[in-house]
Structure 1
Amino acid sequence: MAAEQGVLLHKGCYRARLAAGPADVAAAQALRALCFRTGGTDCDAYDAACAHVLVEEVRTGALVCCFRLLVLENGADLPRSYSAQFYDLQGLQAFQGRMAELGRFCVHPDQQDADILRVAWGAVTVFVDARGVQMLFGCSSFAGNSTAEYLDAFALLKHRHLAPLCWRPQVKAPDVFRFAARLRRKPDAKKALLHMPPLLRTYLLMGGWVSDHAVVDACMNTLHVFTGLEIRAIPAARKRLLRAVAG
């Protein structure tokens, strides 16, 4: 790991580091506003409680990706999370291990290098390992409020990736798409993966699971599903890959 203060990971052309102060957080908020098309600056009350991670191009210092992490001691702390605004998380409140909410994950729209996503997940791995996090969770977003182009993706989530019943989030938001109850179609896996957000695809590759409904978030112009990942459930081969990047 790089010796530079606050650096989580330095790999190839990129480094991932923790925000060092208000200017870094403001830069992350500006990138979020650009990616989420909110206009102005994207900020909320949760920012002050989170650790903010910036992925930068080493040569230029350009910010290419950012996200934030909120550490919770166990499931009893879930009401403090961003996700709790939209989902009834009563089942998950019985989880005894440390948790971290991954939020506002975005990559600059002009950047196409797949290494950015790999470095970002390597940084998540370093963070999770250092703090003894046992479950990672958050809201995984599809662009727009229309479900039409995502029906195969939602059908695939229903057939392969629903949360265990004991932890499954219940409906809380006023406007939701209950895809597990409504969809009867057999998913076209190729179409499903084509329309699956990259962040969600990565969660699923690691053994993640989702809520049985999507929240229609008019403010952010997204559809999102609650996504959870128990760290001990990540396949051994996938853990080796993540730690190879993180190392």
Structure 2
Amino acid sequence: MPMRGRGRYRARFAESATDLDRAQALRWRAFRAVCGQGAEDGRDVDAFDALCRHVLVEAAGDGRLVAAFRLLPLADGREIGRSYAAQYYELAGLRRYPGKMVEMGRFCLDPECHDPDVLRVAWAAMTRFVDAEGVGMLFGCSSFLGTDAETYLDAFAMLRERHLAPKRWRPVVKAPKVFRFGLRLRRRQSDPRRAMQLMPPLLRTYLMMGGWVSDHAVVDDDLGTLHVFTGVEIAGIPPARARALRLLAG
């Protein structure tokens, strides 16, 4: 399924080892360099790279890489144990999911690029993939930079109030270090404006599509992030939002 884009940016699948190197270098800049972590060669690499399809979003003029993510398709919930997220979350509930799934991972934006059109093109590419493959659920880990949960209390309080996963799908704690905001913030009311300012761009988009999250955040000392399991059932996306995404996808 070909990828494409409009205006200043285009999305395409990685086609070579060089393309993958570029994605890994951008990931290093977005995740590790800001925390002073990572390999000396400036690349973020793991075993899941070989299992996934990688999407690059590039500037149409000079080919500069401005965003990247990877996709791991699963036939149904019985394959959920193959996912990256399954390392950190107990996903027994999702094993019962009957349809096609895809995990979106290592989503990152160029730290020096703040054009909202980049995110739109990335989601247009994802929409084309989901529609072409008949995917029923999109999921992944949405990351907050840094590992200090106190920085994001308003965001976590809003997630607890409005966006927890349905009980039948809700992930259970598995990782050794977590922040259980579902329990710890029961008495805290969020400041909605501040909460949305603190939400990572990827997570904001998931939530606008009716997405939901785990009731705890994993402390990932390797990447220097806090992340929440995030999912969205395609059939449950609000109709107006679904139409807007498909218009973007063209």
Same fold (TM over 0.5): yes
Contact 1:206–1:238 (8 Å) recurs in 2: yes
* Alpha-carbon offset, residue 51 of structure 1: 0.6
* Alpha-carbon offset, residue 171 of structure 1: 0.4
Letter in 1 for 2:134: G
Contact 1:210–1:225 (8 Å) recurs in 2: yes
Which consecutive aligned stretches of 4+ in structure 1 deviate over 2 angstroms post-superposition? none
> Residue 66 of structure 1: which of 59, 63, 68 is its match?
68
Letter in 2 for 1:210: V
Contact 1:32–1:42 (8 Å) recurs in 2: yes
Aligned position for 1:197: 200
Does structure 1 residue 159 correspond to structure 2 residue 161? yes
Letter in 1 for 2:94: L
Aligned position for 2:137: 135
What is the CA–CA distance in structure 2 between the aligned matches of 1:235 and 1:9, rounded to whole Å?
Answer: 25
Aligned position for 2:44: 42
Q: Equivalent residue of 1:59, what SS?
A: coil
What is the CA–CA distance in structure 2 between the aligned matches of 1:61 and 1:168, rounded to whole Å?
Answer: 40
What is the CA–CA distance in structure 2 between the aligned matches of 1:137 and 1:156, rounded to whole Å?
Answer: 20
Aligned position for 1:97: 99
Letter in 2 for 1:50: C
* Alpha-carbon offset, residue 218 of structure 1: 0.4
Letter in 1 for 2:218: V
What is the CA–CA distance in structure 1 between the aligned matches of 2:21 and 2:98, rounded to whole Å?
Answer: 34
Letter in 2 for 1:96: P
* Alpha-carbon offset, residue 137 of structure 1: 0.2
What is the CA–CA distance in structure 2 between the aligned matches of 1:197 and 1:212, rounded to whole Å?
Answer: 17
| Residues 178-211 of structure 1, C-alpha deviations (whole Å, 9 max, x = no match) | 0010112111101100101110000000000000
Does structure 1 residue 24 correspond to structure 2 residue 19? yes
Query: Unpaired segments of 5 or more residues in structure 2?
Result: 33-37
Question: What number of residue pairs does the alignment pair up?
Answer: 242
What is the CA–CA distance in structure 2 between the aligned matches of 1:159 and 1:28, rounded to whole Å?
Answer: 35
Does structure 1 residue 15 correspond to structure 2 residue 15? no
What is the CA–CA distance in structure 2 between the aligned matches of 1:57 and 1:11, rounded to whole Å?
Answer: 10
Contact 1:7–1:15 (8 Å) recurs in 2: no
Contact 1:137–1:229 (8 Å) recurs in 2: yes
Letter in 2 for 1:236: P
Letter in 2 for 1:245: L
Q: Equivalent residue of 1:11, what SS?
A: coil
| Percent sequence identity over aligned pairs | 60
| Residues 89-126 of structure 1, C-alpha deviations (whole Å, 9 max, x = no match) | 00010001000000100110110111000000000001
Q: TM-score, structure 1 length as denominator?
A: 0.96
What is the CA–CA distance in structure 1 between the aligned matches of 2:49 and 2:129, rounded to whole Å?
Answer: 17
* Alpha-carbon offset, residue 7 of structure 1: 4.1
* Alpha-carbon offset, residue 23 of structure 1: 1.0
Aligned position for 1:229: 232
Q: TM-score, structure 2 length as denominator?
A: 0.95
* Alpha-carbon offset, residue 235 of structure 1: 0.5
Query: Unpaired segments of 5 or more residues in structure 1?
Result: 1-5
What is the CA–CA distance in structure 1 between the aligned matches of 2:12 and 2:147, rounded to whole Å?
Answer: 33
Contact 1:7–1:16 (8 Å) recurs in 2: no
What is the CA–CA distance in structure 1 between the aligned matches of 2:14 and 2:155, rounded to whole Å?
Answer: 34
Aligned position for 1:3: none
> Residue 220 of structure 2: which of 208, 217, 236 is its match?
217
Q: Equivalent residue of 2:28, what SS?
A: helix
Does structure 1 residue 33 correspond to structure 2 residue 28? yes
* Alpha-carbon offset, residue 41 of structure 1: 1.0
Aligned position for 2:35: none
What is the CA–CA distance in structure 2 between the aligned matches of 1:28 and 1:7, rounded to whole Å?
Answer: 18
Letter in 2 for 1:181: L
What is the CA–CA distance in structure 2 between the aligned matches of 1:86 and 1:161, rounded to whole Å?
Answer: 20
* Alpha-carbon offset, residue 24 of structure 1: 0.6
Q: Equivalent residue of 1:237, what SS?
A: helix
